[in-house]
Structure 1
Amino acid sequence: MGDNQQPAPIRPQQMRVSHDEREAVVERLNTAAAEGRLDFTELEVRLELALNAKTYAELTPLTADLPQEVPAEPLVLKGGLNGAARTGRWRVPAQITVYGGLGSAKLDFTQTECRLPEIAIEAHGQTGGVTIIIPDGWVAETSEMNDGLGGFKDKTTSERLPGTPRVRLTGNGGTSGVVIRHPNSWERRVQRRSQER
């Protein structure tokens, strides 16, 4: 018998990276450039390196000098007696639970900047109902949504733009229902006006 030599263990930095891990670094670099942390030349160089990285040793240094993004706390929005809404510019967490209560609840993502690959929303229509508005280019996965008495309406399109999140919607329509849709013409006008400022 020859010597019983074991192959040398692979160090974590030598491990191969996945498409998703490369994509996450690309997103982080684009965010850093938008925040003014990287100039255009640095961004181009790092993006090229990120897209061609094969191991953690090649990928990790590309964001080592950038602050770590702290994930937002899960959000619970309750309609209560008077209703509740999350609109305008707000930080989107990966997990949201929304209750229509008696007064209704509304989640409006049209003015948010979201770099998450997926947002999990659990919606309960209850008596007031829940309305969720997502920008064009975002898609919703709604197969696990229960209609309840009030029903559930998905008025979104299935065209997803690169770099946008998938909204995974679960829950129950309750007595007043849950609606997920893209902005209507009035909301689009408001959105355009806010971007022009």
Structure 2
Amino acid sequence: MDERLHQLRTAATHGGLVSAPASLPQGSPGTTSTIAAAGRIRRRGAWRVPRVLKVESAFGRVRLNLSRAVVEHPVVDIELHLGTGSARITVPRDAVVDIEGLKAGWKAPRYRTGRHSRPGGPTIRISGAVGMGRLKIRHARR
């Protein structure tokens, strides 16, 4: 670290500034993220989906729209922990959905496989527990 700091302090050109931090090891940023709230949780638009997404809501509605999201991983794990609220997840049109690890308390999850899916889409694995609410999963229309 001292060597790199010295390189940054004594750099005379822009190239010298760029080369010092470039040699640092790259981590895996954003592989796990947790969203927790007592109320409503909503993600839509162009948001970056982490490799593992943990969603915890005691009473509110959960709306996750992955249709325009940036999905960089071939497999995305969504771990739900819902109390009495409902959840709706919209997945990309070409996604494969796996709900084998999901435990539903009151009502069974509603999901129909996509009609127009193409090979090569991400796999979305949904696990966890849904208490008194209902989970609805659908594929994006376009």
- State if a TM-score over 0.5 links the two structures: yes
C-alpha displacement of 1:75 = 1.8
C-alpha displacement of 1:110 = 0.8
In the aligned structure 1, how far is the partner of 2:115 from the partner of 2:99? 11
Could you tell me which residue of structure 1 aligns to residue 76 of structure 2?
A: 119
- Residue in structure 2 matching 1:108, options 49, 65, 89: 65
Superposed counterparts of 1:12-23, under 5 Å: none
In the aligned structure 2, how far is the partner of 1:88 from the partner of 1:102? 24
Greater relative CO, 1 or 2 (CA 8 Å, sep 6+): 2
Give the fraction of aligned pairs with identical amino acids, expressed as a percent.
27
CA deviation profile, 1:126-167 (whole Å, cap 9, x unmatched)? 111221110111010112211211332223327653442101
CA deviation profile, 1:79-112 (whole Å, cap 9, x unmatched)? 413x011111111110011123212111110111
1:80 aligns with 2:19: no
In the aligned structure 2, how far is the partner of 1:142 from the partner of 1:113? 21
Aligned length: 117
Q: Per the alignment, in what secondary structure is the counterpart of residue 171 of structure 1?
A: strand
In the aligned structure 2, how far is the partner of 1:77 from the partner of 1:156? 26
Superposed counterparts of 1:38-187, under 5 Å: 70-81=28-39, 83-157=40-114, 160-183=117-140
Contact 2:94 2:120 in 1 (8 A): no
Question: Which consecutive segments of 4 or more residues in structure 1 shift more than 4 A?
Answer: none
C-alpha displacement of 1:169 = 1.1
Q: Which has the higher strand share?
A: 2
CA change 1:73–1:144 in 2 (3 A) is: closer
In the aligned structure 2, how far is the partner of 1:147 from the partner of 1:160? 26
TM-score, normalised via structure 1 length: 0.52
In the aligned structure 2, how far is the partner of 1:156 from the partner of 1:148? 22
Contact 2:74 2:122 in 1 (8 A): yes
In the aligned structure 2, how far is the partner of 1:137 from the partner of 1:159? 7
Q: Which has the higher helix share?
A: 1
CA change 1:95–1:112 in 2 (3 A) is: same
TM-score, normalised via structure 2 length: 0.70
Q: Which runs of 5+ in 2 are unaligned?
A: 1-25
